[in-house]
Amino acid sequence: MTSPFLHKGHDHSTCIQTALDAADVVCQSHKARLTPIRRRVLELVWQGHSPLGAYELLKTLKTEGHNSAPPTIYRALEFLIQQGLVHRIASLNAYVGCNRPGEHHDGTFLICHVCGTAAEIPDNPMWGPISEMAQAGNFRLSHVNVEAVGECADCQRATGQES
Amino acid sequence: MTSPFLHKGHDHSTCIQTALDAADVVCQSHKARLTPIRRRVLELVWQGHSPLGAYELLKTLKTEGHNSAPPTIYRALEFLIQQGLVHRIASLNAYVGCNRPGEHHDGTFLICHVCGTAAEIPDNPMWGPISEMAQAGNFRLSHVNVEAVGECADCQRATGQES
DNA sequence: GCTCATATTGTTATAATATAACATTTCTAT
DNA sequence: ATAGAAATGTTATATTATAACAATATGAGC
């Protein structure tokens, strides 16, 4: 399996473009409207691979002439989450672009506590153990959120802690 | 494996007593002070198996003569979390007593969205898949938080959705 | 092209959660 | 007894998120 973390020097503009293109497709197929604000918020969320707070995003929006208040950003985020284009990272109160838009899935993340990068990983491998335990309790599983915290390879190298 | 959910009619007073007794032991072994406030907050957290918000707990404290402000409760919770006696449920901004105090572990929960009960389950089974994926990315895993949402057996029965 | 129902956005206010900063008190080890 | 450290009290404020209602824009059907 290839690393879920992109190298620090990767060409991020393609990440953004891919995400925006995918969003167009997803929204069309959902008959949902990716309005300029929503599109712009998605783009802002995708300015990097670290989850960003709602008020951070809002601050940027404001500098762009949009006459924005908190509901503006929260509504856009709510929409994007519903469309499966953005995930909320509960432990950080922050939002990050989804890697697998359109595919039905929950968010499973490896979060680097040094650089803040959150790498979304496939959640299928988690479902085995967890659904087994759920079944043992006759628990009807709806969705699973996994937020694993640690240090990414790039940051380990940077701090000389490479194994 | 036995169900991680206790039956609705279980004798909860023993849950509380067990938790408080365990807390005494853990704090002694950590040379940490389980002061009256901290002990009382732990007891309040244990008033049920549903995570409770900080301000809910605070409200109760206030009715008891303690002259309490937000820092009172947040400090107590911080202490209890450090001692491994309480978990924070990030997706709910709420706090719940730990089932396995003293044992080193992360929180892994099945949360019923109907009754609010959060059942802590062993996290060992999760570590296989997730540490595999972490290793694939040379990610140094520190801790993992799993919050699975669904409907517990009791609530399925109550709403006639039993399989 | 109109027109209406609906979806989206604007706007103001406020709720809910959490922490900073510093004063005071209590505890513990000596 | 007393000094240093830990815990608590107190006031203020930061951060995150939502409620409620008004105004505007959009798209479907005519």
CB A134 within 8 Å of CB A141: yes
CA pair distance A84, A100, nearest whole angstrom: 8
Which of B4, B113, B126 is facing A137, going by the closest CB pair? B4
For B:98-127, CB contacts with A below 8 A are 110, 112-113, 119, 121-122, 125-126
Q: Please indicate, yes or no, whether residues B94 and B110 belong to a single structural domain of this protein.
A: no
The pLDDT value given to residue A1: 45
Domain boundaries, position A133: 105-163
Residue B4 lies in a domain: no
Place of tokens 């997706």: B91
Q: Is A53 helix (H, G, I), strand (E, B) or coil?
A: coil
What confidence tens digit (pLDDT) does each residue in A20-67 have?
A: 999 999 999 999 999 999 999 999 999 999 999 999 999 999 998 777
Q: Please indicate, yes or no, whether residues A98 and A123 belong to a single structural domain of this protein.
A: no
What confidence tens digit (pLDDT) does each residue in B36-55 have?
A: 999 999 999 999 999 999 99
What confidence tens digit (pLDDT) does each residue in B96-127 have?
A: 999 989 877 788 999 999 999 999 999 888 88
**Pick from B121, B118, B114, B103: nearest CA to B156:** B114
CA pair distance A92, B90, nearest whole angstrom: 8
CB B89 within 8 Å of CB B111: yes
CB–CB of B151 and A139 under 8 A? yes
Complex confidence, ipTM: 0.92
Residue B159: half-sphere exposure toward Cβ, Cα within 13 Å: 10
Q: Is B9 left (phi over 0), alpha (psi -120 to 50) or beta?
A: alpha
The pLDDT value given to residue A7: 81
Residues of chain A positioned with their CB less than 8 A from the CB of B136: 1-4
Q: Please indicate, yes or no, whether residues A70 and A88 belong to a single structural domain of this protein.
A: yes
Helix (H) or strand (E) holding A131: helix A124-136
Across A96-124, average pLDDT: 91
Which of B3, B142, B148 is facing A138, going by the closest CB pair? B3
Q: What six digits make up the tokens of B60?
A: 């109760």
Is the pLDDT score of B163 beyond 90?
Answer: no
The pLDDT value given to residue B20: 97
The pLDDT value given to residue A64: 87
Residue B87: half-sphere exposure toward Cβ, Cα within 13 Å: 29
Task: State what percent of residues in chain B have pLDDT above 90.
Answer: 80
CA pair distance B119, B6, nearest whole angstrom: 8
How many other C-beta atoms can be found within 10 angstroms of the C-beta atom of residue A8? 15
Q: Please indicate, yes or no, whether residues A43 and A120 belong to a single structural domain of this protein.
A: no
The pLDDT value given to residue B1: 44
Q: Is A43 helix (H, G, I), strand (E, B) or coil?
A: helix
CATH of the domain at A116: 3.30.1490.190
CB–CB of A121 and B129 under 8 A? no
What confidence tens digit (pLDDT) does each residue in B12-39 have?
A: 999 999 999 999 999 999 999 999 999 9
Last residue of a domain, one of A78, A102, A126: A102
CB A156 within 8 Å of CB B140: yes
Q: How many domains does chain A have?
A: 2
Is the pLDDT score of A154 beyond 70?
Answer: yes
The pLDDT value given to residue B2: 54
Q: Please indicate, yes or no, whether residues A121 and A55 belong to a single structural domain of this protein.
A: no
Last residue of a domain, one of B48, B71, B101: B101
Q: Please indicate, yes or no, whether residues B134 and B91 belong to a single structural domain of this protein.
A: no
Q: Please indicate, yes or no, whether residues A94 and A17 belong to a single structural domain of this protein.
A: yes
